[in-house]
Structure 1
Amino acid sequence: MSTTTAPAAPAQPVKSQSLYQIAWIQFKKHPLARAGMAILIVLYIIALLAGFLSPYSLTEYESGSNRISWSPPTTVHWRDDKGRFGPFVYGLKREVDLETFRDKYTEDRSTKYPVKFFVRRESAPYKILGIIPSTVHLFGVEEPAAIHLWGTDNLGRDQFSRILFGAQFSLTIGIIASLMSIVIGMIMGGLAGYFGGWVDSLIMRVVEVLTAVPELFLLITLRALFPLDIDPLLVMYLIIGILALVGWGGIARVVRSQLLSTREQDYVQAAVSLGASDSRIIGRHMLPNTLSYIIVSLSLSIPGYILTESGLSFLGIGIVEPYASWGSLLKLAQDGGFESISGRPWVLIPGVFIFLAVIAWQFVGDGLRDAFDPRRRR
């Protein structure tokens, strides 16, 4: 009696994964990296929709006797005395504290002002995504009441709105300056590593000069070359250019060292023997090998640029009025002295956002570094 066996099933081909697919899988296993990515998504959505989320414009304030300078955060009530649900606020009564001679604000409970959603305010226009004009805001109250979730500054401007608008400058400058410095660093490092000789020596001497000069001193010196009364938007572009100008040296040095070893590889020599141009060899065959380092370097350099811009604006040589960044808003705490910090703690809220943005980018950078490092993979 003979037995027959079924033919063995053909072996299924193993699907290979690229380096970036493996890195993404490893990145998702990093809890702090996931938390940092979630924080960054929230922050950049806030910056993108700042005009819609803000009840007031960046520079809007009341003049004369109606100005409510340094008012505390507005208390939003969710139930009235009869237990009915619905957010509302009270107006403010201003008095003078005879001990500190500062304005003191208390709630005027004679009138309730309901908080309305999707309010149209012609006095606070903005552009959705910087393109589409709009006057619709997420929430607001009718005048003469006002809603200031994080208080007001010395001119009576809404701190909540200014922090959201400030996110556009602080977060954007970090990304753009990092991208510009990385592009310059890759180009200069690629030229130095590929050509060598006097090109390598010249570029590396420039890098050494940039490294030898203290970065903050160089930034202040370069910024001082321009007049203080120029257009504030031009100031932002100047800051981005200056940050990129002084930050590409370290990237160029690492790219150069990687390309010095890559230059001797067989596929590079084959491209040379086939008559490929120098730009094609550098751009298509050599620089792609540095992308893993570039991605990690980008995520780790952005928080440094955010801190640098905040420091410059804090010193008064960065973003200036009427525009705002987190650093310039934090400067209010210094201008008011210790009394401002102790009596008006809401002026420190921009520092909380700076901390969140920097720590989130650090978490993402650590996650990417571990994901691309085979020795740290989980």
Structure 2
Amino acid sequence: MTTAMNPTPAAAAVQSQSLYQIAWRQFRKHPLARWGMFILGLLYLSALLAPFLSPYTATEYRSDEGRISWAPPTRVHFRTPEGQITRPFVYGVTREVDLETFRDRYVEDPNTRYPVRFFVQRPEQPYRLLGLIPSNVRLFGVDEPGRIFLWGTDNLGRDQFSRVLYGGQFSLSIGLIATVISVILGLILGGMAGYFRGWVDTLIMRLVEVLVAVPELFLLITLRALFPQDISPLVVMYFIIAILAVVGWGGIARTVRSQLLSTRELDYVQAAQALGANDSRIIARHMLPNSLSYIIVAVSLIIPGYILLESGLSFLGIGLVEPFSSWGTLLRVAQDGGFESFTGRPWVLIPGIFIFLAVIAWQFVGDGLRDAFDPRKRQ
């Protein structure tokens, strides 16, 4: 009896921990979730530091005869032809025409050598690191007229490595921004439906059913067709974010409503009403926090869906357009290349690898969060 009334220090420490402390401890034990966080950390860090990490801008290319279209990845050498180890360098390339296939072929010129330099200053291409710090320093580069293309070039001779990094800024951020807006709308409207009930509940739930009944892709294509083709790309970007958010809040609102319907009659809610607390305070301070664990898990699973949806829209040509780039628009270039993109120019498919990594990493994190908040799967 004494043991039951006086728990051990270890048991008391566990009892004193909050739900989120226990969930965080369980999340760290999930191996796939840890890998997902690591991959996402690398992806978002590379997107934030894209102007510094990339040797060129997303739209930079040569307009003269020196343009290098569909060039393969540049080979970086660490040994001279004599076998001596030296600082990394690349050779110049000359363009030849294959008389059998009539395609351009790029051959290294051993007589022209360009050393790879680090922390290169490019005053003609300034940028703001993290949107705040003015700079013109690039992590690496070569002197003109040399060029270095780690992942080859596209049809206009633009550096694929730089465009993938810049494209990640939009593809990764649109999932976060659209998800935040969807969650806010879902919490507000779902909270109103679950708390007020009556005609408010009926109106909001019928609106959710209309959104669910219409296919998302069809709705997005229809709404995008209402805007002119020559609209500013930035307006298109904001429009896509808004549409994705408006389409995606219904599922969150429905779940929040169901949870609030069950908590509305609990004693602490009734006590808050008896003390004169207004409706908005009761919903925000006493009822919605009970849905927070669900929202955390839902966010990690909604974001990859938005990334895929934006990539699909851009791939179809109704998403982000030039001169801005996303991973979907980069894959559209691969589509324009036809079957040859798979056989002769496989480097143009690299953006698809990044889409896969981002989606699978968010899925790993979502699975880890779901198991961490599930009491039946705690270790």
Which bracket does the TM-score occupy, shorter chain normalised?
over 0.9
How far is 1:144 from its partner? 1.1
Amino acid paired to 1:25: R
Q: What pairs up with 1:254-293 in 2 under 5 angstroms?
A: 254-293=255-294
Partner of 1:52: 52
Separation in structure 2 between the aligned mates of residue 129 and residue 340 of structure 1, nearest angstrom: 34
Q: Is the Cα–Cα contact under 8 Å of residues 94 and 106 in structure 2 kept in the other structure?
A: yes
TM-score (ref. length: structure 1): 0.96
CA offset digits 1:110-142 (Å, max 9, x no partner)? 021110000001232221001222110000000
How far is 1:147 from its partner? 0.2
Separation in structure 2 between the aligned mates of residue 85 and residue 359 of structure 1, nearest angstrom: 39
Partner of 2:344: 343
* Secondary structure in structure 2 of the residue aligned to 1:66: coil
Partner of 1:222: 223
Partner of 1:31: 31
Partner of 2:3: none
Partner of 2:112: 111
Query: Which ranges in structure 1 are unaligned for 5 or more consecutive residues?
Result: 1-10
Partner of 1:377: 378
Separation in structure 1 between the aligned mates of residue 109 and residue 126 of structure 2, nearest angstrom: 29
- The alignment status of 1:134 with 2:135, answered yes or no, reads yes
* Secondary structure in structure 2 of the residue aligned to 1:72: coil
Separation in structure 1 between the aligned mates of residue 125 and residue 150 of structure 2, nearest angstrom: 17
Partner of 1:22: 22
Separation in structure 1 between the aligned mates of residue 92 and residue 318 of structure 2, nearest angstrom: 37
How far is 1:30 from its partner? 0.3
Amino acid paired to 2:289: P
How far is 1:161 from its partner? 0.2
* Secondary structure in structure 2 of the residue aligned to 1:137: strand
Aligned residues: 369
Amino acid paired to 1:316: G
Q: Is the Cα–Cα contact under 8 Å of residues 193 and 259 in structure 1 kept in the other structure?
A: yes
Partner of 2:363: 362
Partner of 2:62: 62
How far is 1:99 from its partner? 1.9
Amino acid paired to 1:323: F
Separation in structure 1 between the aligned mates of residue 100 and residue 195 of structure 2, nearest angstrom: 72
Q: Is the Cα–Cα contact under 8 Å of residues 118 and 137 in structure 1 kept in the other structure?
A: yes
Separation in structure 2 between the aligned mates of residue 273 and residue 250 of structure 1, nearest angstrom: 32
Amino acid paired to 2:87: G
Q: What pairs up with 1:1-378 in 2 under 5 angstroms?
A: 14-15=12-13, 16-82=16-82, 83-378=84-379
Check 1:12–1:333 CA distance in 2 against 1; reply closer, same or farther (3 A cut): closer
Separation in structure 2 between the aligned mates of residue 241 and residue 70 of structure 1, nearest angstrom: 35
Separation in structure 2 between the aligned mates of residue 133 and residue 315 of structure 1, nearest angstrom: 35
Separation in structure 2 between the aligned mates of residue 63 and residue 137 of structure 1, nearest angstrom: 22
TM-score (ref. length: structure 2): 0.96
Q: Is the Cα–Cα contact under 8 Å of residues 93 and 108 in structure 1 kept in the other structure?
A: yes
Q: Is the Cα–Cα contact under 8 Å of residues 333 and 348 in structure 2 kept in the other structure?
A: yes
Q: Is the Cα–Cα contact under 8 Å of residues 115 and 141 in structure 1 kept in the other structure?
A: yes
Separation in structure 2 between the aligned mates of residue 236 and residue 280 of structure 1, nearest angstrom: 35
Q: Is the Cα–Cα contact under 8 Å of residues 256 and 291 in structure 2 kept in the other structure?
A: yes
Amino acid paired to 2:283: I
Partner of 2:4: none
Separation in structure 1 between the aligned mates of residue 227 and residue 277 of structure 2, nearest angstrom: 44
* Secondary structure in structure 2 of the residue aligned to 1:90: strand
Amino acid paired to 1:62: R
Q: Is the Cα–Cα contact under 8 Å of residues 329 and 347 in structure 1 kept in the other structure?
A: yes
Separation in structure 2 between the aligned mates of residue 161 and residue 360 of structure 1, nearest angstrom: 22
Q: Is the Cα–Cα contact under 8 Å of residues 91 and 107 in structure 1 kept in the other structure?
A: yes
Q: Is the Cα–Cα contact under 8 Å of residues 182 and 249 in structure 2 kept in the other structure?
A: yes
Separation in structure 2 between the aligned mates of residue 339 and residue 37 of structure 1, nearest angstrom: 35
CA offset digits 1:185-238 (Å, max 9, x no partner)? 011100000000000000000000000000100011111111121111111111
Amino acid paired to 1:292: S
Separation in structure 2 between the aligned mates of residue 12 and residue 136 of structure 1, nearest angstrom: 55
Amino acid paired to 1:374: P
CA offset digits 1:81-121 (Å, max 9, x no partner)? 34122100000010011122111101001021110000001
Q: Is the Cα–Cα contact under 8 Å of residues 127 and 134 in structure 2 kept in the other structure?
A: yes
Separation in structure 1 between the aligned mates of residue 60 and residue 125 of structure 2, nearest angstrom: 8
Separation in structure 1 between the aligned mates of residue 125 and residue 90 of structure 2, nearest angstrom: 21
* Secondary structure in structure 1 of the residue aligned to 2:144: coil
* Secondary structure in structure 2 of the residue aligned to 1:365: helix
Separation in structure 2 between the aligned mates of residue 149 and residue 338 of structure 1, nearest angstrom: 22
Q: Give me the identity figure in percent.
A: 74
How far is 1:12 from its partner? 5.5
